[in-house]
Structure 1
Amino acid sequence: MSISRTALLQAFDSLLQPDRFKDYGPNGLQVEGRPEIERIVSGVTASRALIEAAIAARADAIFVHHGLFWRGQDGRVTGWMKQRLQLLLAHDINLFAYHLPLDAHAELGNNAQLGRVLGFVADARFGEQDLGFAAPAAFANGQALADHVGGLLGRAVTLVQPEEGGALRPIRRVAWCTGGAQGYFESAMAAGADAFITGEISEPQAHLAREMGVSFIAAGHHATERYGAPAVAAHVAGQLRLEHAFIEIPNPA
């Protein structure tokens, strides 16, 4: 069964409501391909490797979290941008990308899906545009939580713990926001978190964690954001009776 590109875009927009968000780039259809779609491939980032895999899978459309176009980037079509666009256009593949709307969706988004994987049931939202999630937790300390997160995500994580005995503080409330959300740390603390999980850490957050008594866990940008895109694409594909496959392109970041 096939569906029109316009109908697929409307389905994604209806679910993710991109107009609600102030974002860093365009959400929705970023590259126009063939008008009829039967097969969708989802992935985290519109890398050349993902595009090549989608071509091999005979996909009509790619659905990602990280698209090709961002506010403030060089607008010239050269180098890596030319290579990716050339592949998409030569094979007439549609590229759909949703950034913050995909992070925020209450059930299928990156934060909701990371919570599902880690076993947290969110009962509050926090931070700019309500992107952050928070939930009750029960861990002996930050190290126990870090071990839990690393074990379920299958990778080593970075843990920064409080000073002066704070490393033994029990974790009764956890907050998280996927990807490069280290700037949400202070909002997480204001929301009552004993620990905060995100993808990356920058220099200031290490000092804040040590001084403020809240553990900080950086679990990987890609690792924390690999669940939303396939969840949304599978949901929409199921509604519209389209084929869908998630393609994992490993990324250590």
Structure 2
Amino acid sequence: MALLKEIIQWCDQTLKSHEFKDYAPNGLQIEGQSEVKKILCAVTASQDAIDAAIAQQADLLLVHHGYFWKGEAYPITGMRGKRIKALIKNDISLVGYHLPLDSHPVLGNNAAIAEILALEKIEALDPSERNPIGNIGYLKNPMTPEDFKHYLTEKLGFETIHLNAEKSNIQKIGFCTGAAQDFITKAADMGCDAFISGEVSERTFYEAKELDVHYFACGHHATERYGVQRLAKAISEQFNIEYSYFELNNPI
């Protein structure tokens, strides 16, 4: 058992959440009971994840995609109202970390992708950032674009979408999980052969071709299911409390 406020304080300090300008509040978003015995983590605070937290009698739902995003309507009604009502009724805290959990060099989504893909010599995609959101890594041995596509599909469990460029081999790779397709321009500026993210836009097809950077869309959910698990495990080890992961495979 651990105090909620101690968990939040530890997470905020570990992830340096105060150093990020984000699209949603990081940390405690909905306050439940003050003591935490069990954590359920999930990529997104969907109704399914909330129902799983209730069923498993979790005290805290830890997510990457929480609530109160910039541009959202203020009234707590409809689908979001139902979700929040269920959390409050069951005294479950909602804790979300977005960009800080992408960026963290050990617990983050990008760190996990680098490890899964066995990328070496990790560096910042944008050297001007204090806490880099995207990264660059290198394959030990170059791959053809087609071989690299198959490699990504196998390693990440997602049918990778490949937008072709002219380069015949891939070794220097930019990457940023989620919806970072527009970072392909940064990858081009840094001389990358390819760029990996989760989603893809119509414009990305032309950018990959004209910038000569192979683009690989590996799934928003598929690229971001690792950070919350790493963070939940770290919390569990720090405070000696139970955690589990809820997976609802989102094909996007």
* TM more than 0.5: yes
Could you list the runs of 5+ residues in structure 1 that have no partner in the other structure?
Answer: none
Q: State the SS of the aligned residue for 2:42.
A: strand
Paired position in structure 2 for 1:235: 234
Paired position in structure 1 for 2:162: 159
1:1-253 matches, within 5 Å, as 2-127=1-126, 130-137=132-139, 138-162=141-165, 166=166, 169-253=168-252
Query: Does the CA-based 8 Å contact 2:142-2:170 persist in structure 1?
Result: yes
> Which whole-Å CA distance do the structure 2 matches of 1:121 and 1:112 have between them?
11
Query: Does the CA-based 8 Å contact 2:184-2:213 persist in structure 1?
Result: no
> Which whole-Å CA distance do the structure 2 matches of 1:220 and 1:122 have between them?
24
Query: Does the CA-based 8 Å contact 1:115-1:122 persist in structure 2?
Result: no
Q: State the SS of the aligned residue for 1:143.
A: helix
> Which whole-Å CA distance do the structure 2 matches of 1:121 and 1:31 have between them?
39
* Aligned residue pair count: 248
* 1:123 Cα deviation after fit: 2.1
- 123-132 vs 192-201, which moves further: 123-132
> Which whole-Å CA distance do the structure 2 matches of 1:208 and 1:71 have between them?
27
Deviant stretches of 4+, over 3 Å: none
* 1:122 Cα deviation after fit: 4.5
Q: Deviations over 1:4-61 (max 9, x none)?
A: 1110101111111111111001000000000100101111000000010011111000
* 1:147 Cα deviation after fit: 0.8
Tell me which amino acid in the other structure corresponds to 1:30: Q
RMSD: 1.2
Given the two structures, how large is their TM-score scaled by the length of structure 2?
0.95
- 134-143 vs 84-93, which moves further: 134-143
Q: Deviations over 1:88-119 (max 9, x none)?
A: 00100011000000000001101001111122
Q: State the SS of the aligned residue for 2:120.
A: coil
- 119-128 vs 228-237, which moves further: 119-128
Query: Does the CA-based 8 Å contact 2:177-2:224 persist in structure 1?
Result: yes
Query: Does the CA-based 8 Å contact 2:185-2:211 persist in structure 1?
Result: no
* 1:186 Cα deviation after fit: 0.6
Given the two structures, how large is their TM-score scaled by the length of structure 1?
0.95
Q: Deviations over 1:191-229 (max 9, x none)?
A: 221010000111222111112221000011000001000
> Which whole-Å CA distance do the structure 1 matches of 2:120 and 2:18 have between them?
27
* 1:171 Cα deviation after fit: 0.8
% identical equivalent positions? 38
Tell me which amino acid in the other structure corresponds to 1:7: E
Could you list the runs of 5+ residues in structure 2 that have no partner in the other structure?
Answer: none
Q: State the SS of the aligned residue for 1:123.
A: strand
> Which whole-Å CA distance do the structure 2 matches of 1:91 and 1:122 have between them?
46
Query: Does the CA-based 8 Å contact 2:173-2:195 persist in structure 1?
Result: yes
> Which whole-Å CA distance do the structure 1 matches of 2:191 and 2:244 have between them?
39
